[in-house]
Amino acid sequence: MRTRKGLKPRQKHWTLFLKLLVVILISAVAWKGIHKPPKISADIYPYLTNLSAELVLQCQKEGEGISPEAWADLIAVRSTVEIDAEHYLIQQLQQGIGLQDIVWKNKEIQISEDVVRQILERRQILLTYPFYEPGRFAFPVMGQVWYMDTFGADREGGARRHEGTDIFGAEGIPIISAGNGKVEKLGWNRLGGERVGVRGEDGNYYYYAHLKAINPQLREGQEVRKGDFLGTLGHTGDALTTPDHLHFGIELPNGEWVNPYPFLYIWQQSQS
């Protein structure tokens, strides 16, 4: 027996199924497009992490008396041009002339358009990813600590790589939020033990692991500010047999973990 439209009931059901499948596929593609991690240029983090601490700290201090963004102007110039051109440009910045209004050439100094473009691009990187902005971040452990750069070192016999910096100190000393953000993960996991994960206002994920105890007042979804108390230093999770330390990691929105050591060093030195 046929339906009014000439289709058997089984054929009608199959047609509805195909339509539903198409809707689901279109929705899945749309969702993936909306939630696709942002593309991050491959040269951004190598540039940030290869800046010398001496240069960054010098520019932070020097920029204090010029303008709120002068630190980025100074770093962008000093990390790009030769010494003669540097002096010429820095003199203008010290006079309060913004990078967008600077005079790039005179009779002795000729700065090419490519170099000008590179300086401006680097300034934008520094402002968009403001790890070196004075006062923006705090060192995450309070008290006497020691740490070194072990990012990428073998773990579990080479089965995985170390994706953070271990900050060693006395058991129970306070751990604070390095920046502003929102608590995204809280509690126990196999490797990190007692851990807190904060989604920073910059979109990065800040991972605090091996805590002895988590601040009992924290809740997932709660906003935290730079310096807020997260917990205490310990050796939980796979750090059970190691000295007490905080494993601190930074994961970009695209899922890539970056070396936090250069940033940690600057944050610590800026506070001292």
Tell me how far apart the alpha carbons of residues 239 and 246 are, in angstroms, rounded to a whole number.
10
CA dist., res. 73 & res. 78, Å (int): 9
Which residues, in sequence order, are bridge partners of residue 188? 194
- pLDDT in 10s for each residue of the chain, 272 residues: 444 555 556 666 666 666 666 666 665 544 444 444 444 555 688 999 999 999 999 999 999 989 999 999 999 999 999 888 999 999 999 998 988 899 998 888 889 999 999 999 999 999 999 999 999 999 999 999 999 998 876 565 555 677 899 999 999 999 999 999 999 999 999 989 999 999 999 999 999 999 999 999 999 999 999 999 999 999 999 898 899 999 999 999 989 899 999 999 999 999 87
Helix (H) or strand (E) holding 55: helix 53-63
Q: Give, for 105, the enclosing helix (H) or strand (E).
A: none
In order of their start, the domains of the chain are 43-128 (no CATH), 145-270 (2.70.70.10)
The whole model's pTM is what?
0.81
**How many Cβ atoms sit within 10 Å of the Cβ of residue 258?**
23
Residues whose CB is less than 8 angstroms from the CB of residue 154 and which lie 6 or more positions away in sequence, other chains included: 161, 162
Tell me 39's DSSP state: P
Q: How far apart are CA 51 and CA 78, in angstroms?
A: 10
